[in-house]
A and B are shown apart, each in its own frame.
With several copies, the nearest count.
Chain A
Amino acid sequence: MTTLTWTSDEIMTVTAARSLRDGMSCFVGIGLPSTAANVASRTHAPDLWMIYESGTLGASPDRLPLSIGDGILAETADTVVSVPEVFNYWLQAGRIDVGFLGAAQIDRYGNINTTVIGDYDDPKVRLPGAGGAPEIAASCREVIVIMRHSRRAFVDKVDFITSVGHGAGPGDRERLGLTGAGPVRIITDLGVLEPDPITRELTLVGVHPGVEVADVRAATGWDLRVAEDPRRTPEPSGAELSVLRSLTGTART
């Protein structure tokens, strides 16, 4: 369809970055979400207000932070608060527009697993665990997830619900007392998924250039619903790519 002058990770990150609107407050997870948020703040969203769970509010790092506690975050933040304060006064109080998360596994209803693959008491793979994700997924006004697409990652039912997406379907978030809207978009290296407005089941609404719907279905561990006319993701612009590459280049140094 087009000569790929960018990688699938790059279009994933750029597309995720575009999901962040200028002026939003964004609770940023480390890794892919942090990269995408930093691309956004350097392109269309200069007033994106980034919060990291280490307590740095309004950070504007001049390179990619290597962890949620990177010193560059404290040096460039509007203010640094304690960890209880960022979770209680900011996240729990419902002040954050968007929570930006990664995941090891996600299921049909956008529930997220970052705890174990396999049985909890006898896991095949022990993952890092919850971190801030359960409450980010619960309390941010909306959640955006960025992760690579594969049948092992996109499963019918996650092995462990670390963070609740849309539970088992409509009404579950309300029943559980979760104040935010939950995952509104999942951006992968193949395309974009959004929950169906009625059933809350994740639905393919966009595919990246060079990707066919069949590719996405093949990389998804359940019978993936597809929107009537999935949108073709606009290609990354030269400006977006150059920002992204300078950031990841920096991070690799």
Chain B
Amino acid sequence: MAVPLNEAVGQLVHDGDTVALEGFTHLIPVAAGHEIIRQGLRDLTLVRMTPDIVYDQLIGAGCARKLVFSWGGNPGVGSLHRFRDAVTRSWPVPLEIEEHSHAGMANRYVAGASGLPFAVLRGYSGTDLVGNNPHIKTITCPFTGQELAAVPALNPDVTIIHAQRADTAGNVQLWGITGIQKEAAMAADRVLVTVEEVVEELEPVPGQVVLPARVVDAVSVVPGGAAPSYAHGYYERDNSAYKDWDAVGRDREAFGAWLAELTGSTGPDTSSTSDPEPVGKGA
């Protein structure tokens, strides 16, 4: 079932798609994000509760036309400068934003995973998020008359996550901080999972989340695919890489050099060779 990452991205992600690459500090699908940049995808609506440096890179590379999120930053370091540049100066392309709270985003994914058109929560009340986001409405409890917030279900075209392991049948196993990954995956039309390794059989692990193969469209084996974030039980977070990004992200030129290296060193040929269908792909 495992397919090379460039093929998986080529098959599952298209220009204009709504794409969620989820992870909560842990297990960020960084390698998959880089492959999206390499394949030059455009006009994506990127979704994530906590967009961090790989989203800064996707935005700086011009892949996104919109970001749906609840907290954007470089955790433990500071701001995302490519994100700021796109929001405040439309560079390299304008970036529309749709902002929620974590509670709102989490419940939007839950509704999406549950086949419901909306979610109800106690939230947003009195905040300026309401006036700046038409997707936050109020709903009245039919039993108590209480007013609560309603948010629409979130159903990405594609959700991409990174997990520790998959078995040969395509069942996926992740553990440690598992965040919102199960809901993000189950809310999506298509699911791509990069994993550290494929094993014959998944040895049960305490705290595990298992995503049955039935909800997974492709598994790609990418050891280290979450670096510089971490994979519980496999490798630690590279904190210096997050700090180092700050200087790169601050400067359009430094970012340009970084981008050239990412797309050049691996070579555009890699993706085009193994991605025979250019339909719907950007330059």
Contact = CB atoms under 8 A, between A and B. Distances in A.
Interface of A: 25, 30, 49, 53-58, 66-71, 73-74, 78-80, 82-84, 87-89, 91-95, 115, 120, 122-135, 138-139, 160-164, 167, 172-173, 176-179
B101 interface: yes
Given A71-B177, A120-B128, A54 B210 contact: no
B40 interface: no
A79 B186 CA distance: 15
Interface in B101-150: 101-103, 106-107, 109-110, 113-116, 121-129, 132, 146-148
A133 B128 contact: no
Given A54-B25, A68-B24, A134 B103 contact: yes
Contact of A128 (B72, B128, B147, B182): B72
B129 A162 contact: yes
16 contacts: A57-B212, A69-B24, A69-B75, A71-B177, A79-B171, A84-B106, A84-B109, A84-B183, A87-B107, A88-B107, A92-B121, A123-B88, A129-B69, A134-B101, A134-B127, A178-B126
Contact of B128 (A73, A126, A138, A160): A160
B177 A87 contact: no
Nearest to B215: A95
A226 to B, nearest CB: 28
A53 B70 CA distance: 13
Contacts of A93: 113-115, 186
B106 A87 contact: yes
B180 A84 contact: yes
Name the 4 nearest CB pairs between A and B, nearest first.
A69-B25, A131-B71, A93-B115, A79-B210
B121 A54 contact: no
A46 to B, nearest CB: 13
Given A84-B107, A88-B103, A160-B128, 12 more contacts: A54-B177, A73-B177, A74-B26, A79-B210, A84-B180, A89-B114, A115-B99, A126-B88, A129-B71, A130-B100, A177-B148, A178-B125
Contact of B126 (A53, A120, A176): A176
Contacts of A176: 125-126
A132 B177 contact: no
By CB atoms of chain B within 10 A, which of A94, A138, A179 has the most? A138
Contact of A66 (B88, B147, B237): B237
Contacts of A88: 103, 106-107, 113-116, 121
Interface stretch (B76-84, B157-165, B269-277): B76-84
A88 to B, nearest CB: 4
Contacts of A70: 25, 237
B237 A138 contact: no
Interface of B: 24-26, 49-50, 69-73, 75-76, 79, 83-84, 87-88, 99-103, 106-107, 109-110, 113-116, 121-129, 132, 146-148, 171, 176-180, 182-183, 186, 207, 209-210, 212, 214-215, 230, 232, 236-237, 239
A82 B180 contact: yes
A71 B126 contact: no
A55 B177 contact: yes
B179 to A, nearest CB: 5
Nearest to A69: B25
A134 B25 contact: no
B109 A74 contact: no
A128 B83 CA distance: 10
A94 B84 CA distance: 35
A179 B70 contact: no
B26 A69 contact: yes
A191 B207 CA distance: 43
A82 B182 contact: yes
Contacts of A55: 24, 177-179
Contacts of B171: 78-79
